[in-house]
Amino acid sequence: MSHRDPSRRILDEFGTSDEIFGIEIDYSLNDLKLFIPAGIVCGFILLATPQWLNIGGLIAAIGLLLATAAFVFVTPSHKSPHEWLTDMIKFSQAEHTKTAVAESPANQPDSLTQVKRFLPVSNLVERTDGHLVAALQVSPANLSLATDQEWEAMANSFGSMLNALDFDLQIHSTARPVEPERITAGYRERLDDPDVVENPALGDIIRVYHERFPAEFVSRGTCVREYHILIPVSIHDVQLAERGAISKLSTLPVIGGCIRILGAESTQLTYEEIRERQKEEVEHRIRAVESGIRDLEGCEVQRVSADELAALLEEYWSGERTHYGPSSGQQNERVRSVPIVTGTNSGRF
């Protein structure tokens, strides 16, 4: 919806504009879908208006179309008008004040985070609504010295990769403060090396780095940027996969939600079958995203473990990461992967 500015280092648009009757416009057909329900309402207004109020009905219909056009115009470029309207409705109906600790079950941490449990073997998190979510960590290419044309080429390649996917995902960018102690640990160890002991000048330089670097990082607020891609698979995704053409109709605005619910509920899959197919679909989507990211020059991607995913969620909700000590069978892990009760050679527990 907005023109791409190559001088901006923020990717805010993917793909190209659509054409209507051979005329290229700055809006995609997905942006204009909101006119479908608006047109239906306008038709109902004109048909339901008495003859002596035809002028009033016509004015109301034109006003509704103009309001729809204005809404499409002011919609942020990273969302379609239908998605933005849905988000605003959900926000207006949601509670605006929540706490991490409360007496009512609706405000307990599990309902706020929507995390039911972690699956360490599959490296997944299960949400309270049945979604299974996997995460990938992306190491982007270093474009510090890249030209505008190189930025543009990388943005277009990334956009083409995303447009080739037929499922939803979320991209999260976070800034983690650097840990000066880890960076300066090598300097502290170097002070005891023979060559440093024999060279006082070199020792003074290393000592300055060791003592002043941490304060410098803190004063500057130096952070390390991290990028993660979250890939969810819902129960309805698996159920609709069995319905063929119905899964395509579920993407339509307004009526798509009803089709999605009716089509999903009419399947005969058991809970175990749904869960197994969810895991298979997660792995399929992960491979698709990994393949697309690795095709981008200079980019690397790796799977996030369930333990690291738990740490990321903790940081997201609390703003800090708790460091756990090693326990029986565990090594500084948040998610237990070793059973609490294990068997002996005699077979007794």
Kindly compute the dihedral angle of the four CA atoms of residues 262, 263, 268, 274, in this order, to the nearest 10 degrees. Answer: -110
Residue pLDDT, tens place only, 321-335: 777 666 544 555 667
Residue 263 · residue 269 · CB < 8 Å? no
Q: Which two tokens stand for residue 333?
A: 């892990």
Q: Which two tokens stand for residue 250?
A: 């579920």
Q: Is the pLDDT of residue 251 over 70?
A: no
Binned at pLDDT 50, 70 and 90, residue 260 comes out as low
Q: Is the pLDDT of residue 6 over 50?
A: no
Which run of H or E residues covers position 229?
A: strand 223-233
**pTM of the model as a whole:** 0.58
Q: Compute how many other C-beta atoms are within 10 angstroms of the C-beta atom of residue 310.
A: 19
Compute the distance between CA of residue 68 and CA of residue 47 in angstroms, rounded to an integer. Answer: 20
Find, among 29, 51, 48, the residue nearest to 40 by Cα.
48
Q: Measured between alpha carbons, how far is residue 319 from residues 103, 107, 244, 322 in Å?
A: 23, 19, 43, 10
More confident residue, 158 or 28: 158
Q: What's the pLDDT at 124?
A: 93
Binned at pLDDT 50, 70 and 90, residue 233 comes out as very high
Residue pLDDT, tens place only, 113-157: 788 888 988 899 999 888 999 999 999 888 878 888 988 899 899
Compute the distance between CA of residue 231 and CA of residue 133 in angstroms, rounded to an integer. Answer: 6
3-state secondary structure of 231: strand
Angle at which helices 54-74 and 35-48 cross, to 10°: 170
Phi, psi of 222 (to 5 degrees): -65, 130
Compute the distance between CA of residue 205 and CA of residue 284 in angstroms, rounded to an integer. Answer: 52
Q: Which two tokens stand for residue 83?
A: 């998605």
